[in-house]
Amino acid sequence: MENARIPCMRCIHYHVTFDPLAPRGCKLYQFKSATMPSVLVKQSTGHECTSFEERVKKNSDDEGGSGKKDFNDPKYWG
């Protein structure tokens, strides 16, 4: 990806940590940092991250596709 930013938050390896000083992490490379993992990989190795894998989006069961459930809908209470 030439001059394109890697969307870490959409990667299956990205995770949020509970460390306020290093809130972003990469499960594949097993680190956490204050910067996005792809930026740290680029700074450390000089190469773009080649391990990006798109996270599979969960299907929503409502018609709007927003992923939100309407708990006023009788199908949840019948």
For the segment 43-76, what is each residue's pLDDT rounded down to a tens digit? 999 999 999 999 987 765 545 556 788 888 888 8
Range of the domain at 46: 1-55
Number of domains in the chain: 1
Asked, for residue 27, whether it belongs to a domain, the answer is yes
Asked, for residue 77, whether it belongs to a domain, the answer is no
| pLDDT score of 69 | 84
Asked, for residue 37, whether it belongs to a domain, the answer is yes
Asked, for residue 68, whether it belongs to a domain, the answer is no
Provide long-range contacts, Cβ within 8 A and 24+ apart, for 35-43: 36/6, 36/8, 37/8, 37/13, 38/5, 38/6, 38/8
Asked, for residue 67, whether it belongs to a domain, the answer is no
Please determine, for residue 1, whether its predicted confidence score (pLDDT) is greater than 50.
no
Asked, for residue 64, whether it belongs to a domain, the answer is no
Query: Is the whole-model pTM more than 0.75?
Result: no
| pLDDT score of 3 | 65
